[in-house]
């Protein structure tokens, strides 16, 4: 459905005709004006009118309707198509969720299509409407503001993930936390969230590199003002910081998982040594009792009055010696 539709002239929102074709003609006729249409999870029928009026490419339209796209930038004859993936992190459940924002830019128009709940579009529109000087730069300002808001939120999510990872690290290396049977599962789940985050941030590098003029031969991107390249370069620098943080988080969580598994292996070895030590201590009296339990008439000291207390005393002495031996070697 259409969430918002407005004409912006010299950076200020103005009233225009309800018909999309008339609104677009008016924006092109006035000069320094453009129309911005925002849609939320439109159906094919709802999007048909927009497609027809703005001559959007059918392949881009298909991507915008079906969603589940990687961040990318595609250039067509009548429009520029950019896909961004905003990210939200729920700290309570430790879950990274992604949405999608598709941006069509052309001659005097911007069409944004939103999928999912995590999206900066409403905040971006309000902020731009409060800054006419920025908004008067037209569709380029809209694309830059959306990309900037998306990447800035990536930085916030990266900081939240880093904080939660430090808590998980402290739990793993605590005296008792690492022995929990759910610890490995928590570490693996956290790694999956980092992977989901990477799917949103990694592929965005190529589109921002092209928008910043750092792509092949620095070729300009159509429908984007070349004067905006330094601004896109700044966003790309922020994205590089995010990607470095994601790589660092991924390596660290892998190291934590390896350390946890090694820790569990050491604890299992300690347990086996303790079990072996107790088994050895139990074997001594069992052996002696087994020998004297045999039914033979001629056995040493079998009829001696002090045989029983002597054997018990010998068992106790041997147990005492074994206990101190294992204790000194750290087996008990």
Query: HEC states along 31-77?
Result: CCEEEEEEEECCCHHHHHHHHHHHCCCHHHHHHHHHCCCCCEEEECC
Cα 329 from Cα 207, distance rounded (Å):
62
Is pLDDT at 195 greater than 70 in this prediction? Answer: yes
Mean pLDDT, range 274-303, rounded to an integer:
69
What integer pLDDT is reported at residue 292 of this predicted model?
65
Nearest Cα residue to 148 out of 120, 118, 111, 182: 120
- Count the alpha carbons within 13 Å of 243 in the hemisphere toward its beta carbon: 14
Mean pLDDT, range 200-213, rounded to an integer:
91
Across the chain, what does the average pLDDT equal?
83
And the tokens for 61?
A: 């339209």
Backbone angles phi, psi at 90, to 5 degrees: -95, 105
Provide the whole-model pTM. 0.78
Is pLDDT at 307 greater than 70 in this prediction? Answer: no
Backbone angles phi, psi at 119, to 5 degrees: -150, 140
And the tokens for 133?
A: 């000087």
| Residue located via tokens 């045989």 | 307
Q: Is 265 exposed, middle or buried (0-12, 13-18, 19+ CB in 10 A)?
A: exposed
What integer pLDDT is reported at residue 120 of this predicted model?
77
* Length of the chain counted residue by residue: 332
Per the CB < 8 A criterion, the answer to whether 105 and 78 are in contact is no
DSSP lists the bridge partners of residue 115 as: 100
Q: When comparing pLDDT for 194 and 178, which is higher?
A: 194
And the tokens for 277?
A: 């030590």
Is pLDDT at 297 greater than 70 in this prediction? Answer: no
Mean pLDDT, range 141-164, rounded to an integer:
92
Least confident stretch, 58-67, 203-212, 244-253, 277-286: 277-286
What is the number of other CB atoms lying within 10 angstroms of the CB of residue 121? 24
Cα 316 from Cα 178, distance rounded (Å):
37
Cβ neighbours of residue 194 under 8 Å, at least 6 residues apart?
96, 161, 246, 249, 250, 253
Cα 112 from Cα 172, distance rounded (Å):
44
What integer pLDDT is reported at residue 232 of this predicted model?
93
Q: Which long-range contacts (CB under 8 A, 24 or more apart) does 324-330 make?
A: 326/277, 326/280, 326/281
Q: When comparing pLDDT for 283 and 131, which is higher?
A: 131
Is pLDDT at 218 greater than 70 in this prediction? Answer: no
What is the percent of the chain where pLDDT is above 70?
Answer: 87
Mean pLDDT, range 229-256, rounded to an integer:
92
Cα 308 from Cα 314, distance rounded (Å):
10
- Residue 101, Cα to own-chain centre: how many angstroms? 18
Q: Is 166 helix (H, G, I), strand (E, B) or coil?
A: helix
What integer pLDDT is reported at residue 285 of this predicted model?
76
Q: Is 140 exposed, middle or buried (0-12, 13-18, 19+ CB in 10 A)?
A: buried
């Amino acid at each position: 459905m259409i969430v918002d539709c407005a004409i912006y002239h010299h950076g200020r929102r103005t009233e225009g005709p309800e018909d999309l074709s008339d609104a677009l003609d008016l924006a092109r006729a006035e000069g320094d004006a453009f129309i911005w249409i925002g849609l939320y999870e439109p159906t094919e029928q709802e999007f048909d009118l927009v497609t027809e009026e703005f001559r959007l490419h059918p392949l881009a339209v298909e991507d915008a309707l079906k969603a589940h796209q990687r961040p990318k930038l595609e250039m067509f004859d009548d429009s520029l198509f950019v896909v961004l993936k905003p990210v939200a992190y729920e700290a309570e459940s430790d879950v990274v969720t992604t949405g999608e924002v598709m941006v069509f830019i052309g001659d005097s128009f911007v069409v944004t299509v939103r999928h999912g709940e995590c999206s900066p579009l409403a905040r971006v529109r309000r902020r731009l409407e409060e800054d006419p000087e920025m908004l008067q730069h037209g569709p380029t300002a809209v694309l830059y503001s959306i990309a900037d808001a998306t990447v800035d939120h990536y930085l916030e999510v990266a900081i939240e993930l880093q904080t939660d990872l430090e808590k998980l690290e402290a739990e793993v290396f605590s005296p008792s936390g690492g022995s929990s049977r759910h610890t490995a599962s928590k570490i693996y789940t956290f790694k999956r969230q980092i992977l989901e985050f990477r799917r949103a941030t990694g592929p965005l590098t190529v589109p921002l590199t092209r928008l910043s003029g750092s792509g092949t031969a620095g070729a300009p991107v159509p429908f984007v003002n070349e004067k905006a390249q330094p601004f896109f370069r700044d966003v790309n620098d922020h994205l590089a910081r995010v990607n470095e943080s994601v790589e660092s988080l991924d390596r660290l969580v892998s190291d934590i998982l390896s350390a946890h598994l090694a820790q569990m292996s050491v604890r299992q070895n300690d347990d086996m040594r303790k079990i072996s030590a107790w088994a050895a201590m139990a074997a001594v009296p069992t052996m002696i009792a087994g020998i004297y339990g045999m039914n033979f008439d001629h056995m040493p000291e079998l009829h001696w009055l002090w045989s029983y207390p002597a054997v018990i005393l010998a068992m106790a002495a041997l147990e005492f010696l074994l206990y101190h031996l294992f204790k000194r070697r750290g087996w008990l």
